[in-house]
């Protein structure tokens, strides 16, 4: 729906070029020796592990991009690198709102990276314990994100926090309770509220519904979809679950052994998969 | 036998050997150059255990000379055991003059109070600091707190204030209230009461901080901006003694001690700073610190 001819390649909000993450020592042959064609991501020469390699894509404003693949295929590695949770081995990324997308964000100082994290990006992790601080109240967790963006007014912070909790369907009366006392679905919704607290232009969702039961999954997916409609945030959705991908995303990358094996409109990929791995994925969809 | 003059005395002037004193002075210079930044230092062995005022002692002994006049206070009192012993020790090893009088002193070593009387540009105040790292309560790893300071990543610190306000309706830090120094570093002012915090701001004198156990020195140079952390709508405030009076002087624009009486039930308030109280009783002229919080109290009293 957002992917049309008006989105010329110049419109991107996020551009990733040749993103690569390798664990261990590697040589120039490492990348050629691994990948879906070789059927492995462990280099036979050096024993280094190629988590992801040669990942290039663009993300357009308001677009939802899906990344799908089996476990260990490098899906989470990509978003974790983009969110600076992980160092990159090679590659570049550009964000339009940061210096008009002219500089490689991986080469910036830690201070700049922190600025981008706090002001331009949001991340929702699979496990709420990664994204939330369980010793602070849920309101406090949202406040942390606002304080990072230099909002030092308790009244305004609380107003914004209750707005967000309203939006994510967490009872505002429980704003000052610890997230530890919440159900898994509620924790996940608090995490989403925290991630979008500063209206970031970019949101990364890493297996957000994987730990939840089916009815809660549906509500969280619903929430993400309505937020996307309402705020028009560009998102990357990482999931091993094709039904999540089908429900949320416009465009999809299929990953295997750390490489993109197929890319295209989500409908197209699901209706008419080209790569044999994608065919396997789609045919095994329940 | 050849007499070895070097080892004739059992210790060097001011107890610490010259090389180490030089090191401490160098670190102090660095601390003054970067207000609020914690400088690691050697923290040499002293005849008292680390954590019992050694940081303050190191600083005092490194900067003191024979012409100095030392005042030593412990929680406002010149006469407590801690103050007496440290004063005797420094006097014994340096032969410096000692005093109770705040105005006469050139170096004031203190535990957890700033004097009520205003300090001048001829004076240095040395604090004994138990925990120099203000972020320790939110982050237990040193390598992380250092990174947080380096990147001015203070959201977690602010968050504890927010959480305190949400839980209790007020920011509850009584002593050691975190301050922002020179718009750059958050600093632990040592466990001085809130009453003293505004006196760190734009002061005439030099404030030096020594944390012996944690091996850190830091400083607030004269005329440096020191602001307590506060929200735009939840402001910092100092202790309120407007409805009590000192039982011996009748004064109440000073930090007060609350003393239980011998019956174990009733209590009276006394001015905490012993030298200040003495001067009040002797009706001597005293010039107090002035800051906006004190001025507000004085205005309110005048209106009454």
A15 and A149 inside one domain: no
Which residues of chain A make contact with B159, given a CB cutoff of 8 A? 136, 140, 143-144, 147
Q: Which residues of A lie closer than 8 Å to B, measured between beta carbons? A: 110-111, 114, 118, 136-137, 139-140, 143-145, 147-148, 152-155, 157-158, 176
Nearest Cα neighbor of A59 from A261, A282, A250, A260 is: A250
- Minimal Cβ distance to A136: which of B159, B232, B233: B159
The four Cα atoms B27, B28, B34, B37 give a dihedral, to 10 degrees, of: 80
Q: How far is A209 from chain B (nearest CA, A)?
A: 28
Nearest CA in chain B to A143: B159
In this structure, how many other beta carbons lie within 10 angstroms of the beta carbon of residue B30? Answer: 16
Helix axes B155-168, A154-167, angle to 10 degrees: 90
Q: What pLDDT is attached to residue B5?
A: 62
Which residues of chain B make contact with A110, given a CB cutoff of 8 A? 147, 150-151
Nearest Cα neighbor of A183 from A245, A143, A138, A135 is: A138
pLDDT above 60 (res A2) = no
Residue A157 lies in a domain: yes
- Minimal Cβ distance to B162: which of A110, A114, A143: A143
Q: Quick check: A195 and A235 in contact, CB under 8 A?
A: no
- What the block records as the tokens of A10 is 């110049």
Half-sphere exposure of B249 (CA within 13 A, CB side): 22
Last residue of a domain, one of A169, A199, A229: A199
What one-character-per-residue DSSP string does A114-127 give? HHHHHHTEEEE-SS
Q: How far is A76 from chain B (nearest CA, A)?
A: 25
Could you tell me what percent of chain A has a pLDDT over 70?
A: 96
* pLDDT tens-digit readout, A58-93: 999 989 999 998 888 999 999 999 999 999 999 999
Query: A170 lies in which domain range?
Result: 123-199
Q: Is residue A261 within a helix (H) or strand (E), and if so which, with residue range?
A: strand A259-265
* pLDDT tens-digit readout, A181-229: 998 889 999 999 999 898 899 999 998 888 778 888 888 888 888 888 8
- A284 pLDDT tier (thresholds 50, 70, 90): confident
Nearest CA in chain B to A139: B163
Q: What pLDDT is attached to residue A231?
A: 86
Residue A6 lies in a domain: no
Nearest CA in chain A to B156: A144
> What is the total count of domains within chain A?
2
- Cα separation, B124 vs A112, whole angstroms: 39
In this structure, how many other beta carbons lie within 10 angstroms of the beta carbon of residue A24? Answer: 12
Q: What pLDDT is attached to residue A205?
A: 94
* pLDDT tens-digit readout, B61-74: 999 999 999 999 99
When scoring A112, A134, A151, A157 by the number of chain B Cβ atoms within 10 A, the one with the most, hence best to mutate, is A157
When scoring B166, B229, B235, B236 by the number of chain A Cβ atoms within 10 A, the one with the most, hence best to mutate, is B166
Residue B97 lies in a domain: yes
Residue B271 lies in a domain: no
**Do B155 and A144 count as a contact with CB atoms less than 8 A apart?**
yes
A109 and A15 inside one domain: yes
Q: What pLDDT is attached to residue B76?
A: 93
CATH number reported for the structural domain that contains residue A208 in this entry: 3.40.50.300
A87 and A137 inside one domain: no
A46 and A110 inside one domain: yes
pLDDT above 70 (res A5) = no
- Minimal Cβ distance to A152: which of B150, B167, B231: B231
When scoring B158, B164, B229 by the number of chain A Cβ atoms within 10 A, the one with the most, hence best to mutate, is B158
Q: What pLDDT is attached to residue B87?
A: 95
* pLDDT tens-digit readout, B123-133: 999 999 999 99
- Cα separation, B81 vs B74, whole angstroms: 8
Q: What pLDDT is attached to residue A107?
A: 94
Residue A3 lies in a domain: no
- Cα separation, A259 vs A20, whole angstroms: 10
A111 and A139 inside one domain: no
Nearest Cα neighbor of B60 from B153, B120, B123, B4 is: B123
**Do B155 and A148 count as a contact with CB atoms less than 8 A apart?**
yes
- What the block records as the tokens of A97 is 């709102």
When scoring A113, A140, A152 by the number of chain B Cβ atoms within 10 A, the one with the most, hence best to mutate, is A152
- Minimal Cβ distance to A153: which of B147, B150, B232: B232
Which residues of chain B make contact with A194, given a CB cutoff of 8 A? none
Angle at the Cα of A280 (from A277 to A286), degrees rounded to 5?
A: 140
pLDDT above 60 (res A29) = yes
End-to-end Cα distance, chain B: 80
Residue A5 lies in a domain: no
Q: How far is A161 from chain B (nearest CA, A)?
A: 13
Going from the first residue of chain B to its last (304 residues), give the mean pLDDT of each consecutive group of 10, the final group possibly shorter: 63 91 97 97 92 94 95 94 94 94 96 95 96 93 94 91 90 90 96 96 96 96 96 92 92 93 92 95 93 91 84
Which residues of chain A make contact with B232, given a CB cutoff of 8 A? 152-154
- Cα separation, A239 vs A224, whole angstroms: 14
When scoring A144, A160, A162, A197 by the number of chain B Cβ atoms within 10 A, the one with the most, hence best to mutate, is A144
Residue A2 lies in a domain: no
In this structure, how many other beta carbons lie within 10 angstroms of the beta carbon of residue B270? Answer: 19
- Give the DSSP letter of residue A102: -
Nearest CA in chain A to B169: A154
- Minimal Cβ distance to A110: which of B151, B158, B162: B151
- pLDDT, mean over chain B: 93
Q: How far is B151 from chain A (nearest CA, A)?
A: 6
- A3 pLDDT tier (thresholds 50, 70, 90): very low
A106 and A245 inside one domain: yes
Nearest CA in chain A to B165: A154
Ranges of H-type helices in A214-265: 214-231, 242-248
CATH number reported for the structural domain that contains residue B210 in this entry: 3.40.50.11310
ipTM: 0.80
Last residue of a domain, one of A199, A219, A251: A199
> What is the total count of domains within chain B?
1
Using H for helix, E for strand and C for coil, what is the string for chain B? CCCCCCCCCCCECCECCHHHHHHHHHHHHHHHHCCCCCEECCCCCCCCCCCCCHHHHHHHHHHCCCCCEEEEEECCECCCHHHHHHHHHHHHHHCCEECCCCCCCCEEEEECCCCCECCCCCCEEEEECCCCCHHHHCCCCHHHHHHHHHCCCCHHHHHHHHHHHHHHCCCCCCECCCEEECCCEEECCCCCEHHHHHHHCCCCCEEEEEECCCCEEEEECCCCCEEECCCCCCCCCCCCCCCCCECCCCCCCCCEEEEECCCCCCEEEEECCHHHHHHHHCCCCCCECCCHHHHHHHHHHHHC
Q: What is the pTM of this model?
A: 0.84
A90 and A190 inside one domain: no
Nearest CA in chain A to B153: A148
**Do B162 and A147 count as a contact with CB atoms less than 8 A apart?**
yes
Which residues of chain B make contact with A117, given a CB cutoff of 8 A? none
- Cα separation, A144 vs B157, whole angstroms: 9
* pLDDT tens-digit readout, A123-169: 999 899 999 999 899 999 999 999 988 889 999 999 999 999 988 88
A136 and A251 inside one domain: no
A103 and A159 inside one domain: no
**Do B158 and A153 count as a contact with CB atoms less than 8 A apart?**
no
Q: How far is B53 from chain A (nearest CA, A)?
A: 33
Nearest CA in chain B to A175: B166
Residue A257 lies in a domain: yes
Q: How far is A229 from chain B (nearest CA, A)?
A: 30
A28 and A168 inside one domain: no
Q: Quick check: A237 and A202 in contact, CB under 8 A?
A: no
Last residue of a domain, one of A142, A175, A199: A199
Query: B103 lies in which domain range?
Result: 18-228
Q: What pLDDT is attached to residue A9?
A: 59
- Give the DSSP letter of residue A99: G
A44 and A106 inside one domain: yes
Which residues of chain B make contact with A155, given a CB cutoff of 8 A? 233
């Amino acid at each position: 729906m957002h992917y049309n001819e008006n989105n010329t390649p110049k419109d991107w909000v996020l551009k990733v070029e040749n993103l690569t993450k390798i664990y261990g020592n590697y040589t120039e042959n490492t990348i050629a020796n691994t990948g879906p064609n070789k059927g492995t991501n462990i280099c036979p020469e050096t024993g280094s592990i190629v988590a992801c390699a040669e990942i290039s894509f663009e993300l357009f404003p308001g677009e939802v991009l899906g990344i799908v693949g089996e476990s260990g295929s490098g899906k989470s590695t990509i978003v974790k690198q983009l969110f600076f949770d992980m160092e990159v081995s090679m590659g570049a990324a550009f964000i339009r709102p940061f210096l008009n997308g002219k500089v490689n964000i991986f080469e910036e100082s830690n201070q700049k990276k922190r600025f981008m994290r706090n002001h331009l990006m949001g991340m929702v992790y699979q496990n709420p314990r990664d994204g939330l601080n369980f010793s602070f109240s849920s309101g406090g967790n949202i406040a942390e994100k606002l304080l990072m963006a230099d909002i030092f007014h308790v009244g305004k912070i609380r107003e914004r926090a209750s707005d967000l909790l309203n939006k994510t369907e967490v009872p505002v009366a429980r704003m000052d309770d610890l997230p530890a006392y919440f159900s898994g679905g509620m924790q996940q919704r608090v995490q989403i509220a925290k991630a979008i607290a500063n209206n970031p232009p970019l949101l990364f969702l890493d297996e957000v519904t994987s730990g939840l039961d089916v009815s809660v999954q549906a509500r969280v997916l619903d929430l993400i979809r309505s937020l996307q409609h309402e705020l028009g945030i560009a998102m990357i959705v990482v999931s091993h679950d094709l039904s999540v991908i089908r429900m949320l995303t416009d465009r999809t990358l299929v990953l295997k052994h750390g490489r993109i094996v197929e890319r295209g409109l989500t409908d197209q990929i699901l209706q008419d998969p080209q790569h044999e791995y994608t065919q396997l994925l789609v045919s095994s969809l329940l | 036998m050849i007499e070895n003059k070097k080892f004739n005395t059992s210790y060097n002037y001011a107890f610490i050997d010259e090389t180490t004193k030089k090191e401490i002075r160098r670190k102090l210079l660095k601390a003054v150059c970067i207000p609020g930044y914690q400088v690691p230092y050697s923290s040499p062995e002293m005849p008292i255990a680390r954590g019992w005022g050694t940081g303050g002692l190191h600083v005092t002994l490194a900067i003191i000379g024979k012409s100095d006049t030392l005042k030593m206070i412990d929680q406002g009192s010149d006469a407590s055991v801690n103050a007496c012993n440290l004063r005797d020790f420094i006097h014994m090893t340096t032969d410096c003059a000692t005093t109770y009088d705040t105005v006469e002193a050139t170096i004031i070593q203190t535990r957890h109070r700033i004097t009520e009387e205003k300090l001048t540009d001829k004076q240095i105040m040395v604090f004994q600091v138990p925990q120099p790292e203000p972020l320790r309560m939110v982050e237990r790893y040193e390598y992380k707190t250092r990174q947080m300071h380096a990147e001015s990543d203070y959201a977690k610190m602010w968050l504890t204030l927010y959480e305190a306000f949400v839980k209790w309706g007020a920011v509850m830090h009584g002593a050691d209230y975190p301050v922002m120094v020179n718009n750059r570093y958050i600093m632990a002012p040592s466990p001085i009461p809130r009453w003293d915090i505004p006196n760190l701001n734009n002061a005439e004198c030099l404030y030096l901080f020594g944390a012996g156990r944690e091996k850190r020195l830091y400083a607030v140079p004269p005329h440096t901006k020191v602001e307590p952390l506060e929200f735009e709508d939840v402001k910092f405030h100092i202790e309120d003694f407007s409805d009590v009076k000192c039982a011996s002087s009748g004064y109440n624009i000073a930090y007060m001690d609350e003393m239980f009486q011998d019956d174990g039930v009733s209590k009276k308030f006394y001015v905490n700073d012993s030298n200040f109280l003495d001067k009040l009783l002797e009706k001597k002229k005293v010039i107090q610190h002035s800051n906006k919080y004190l001025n507000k109290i004085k205005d309110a009293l005048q209106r009454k």
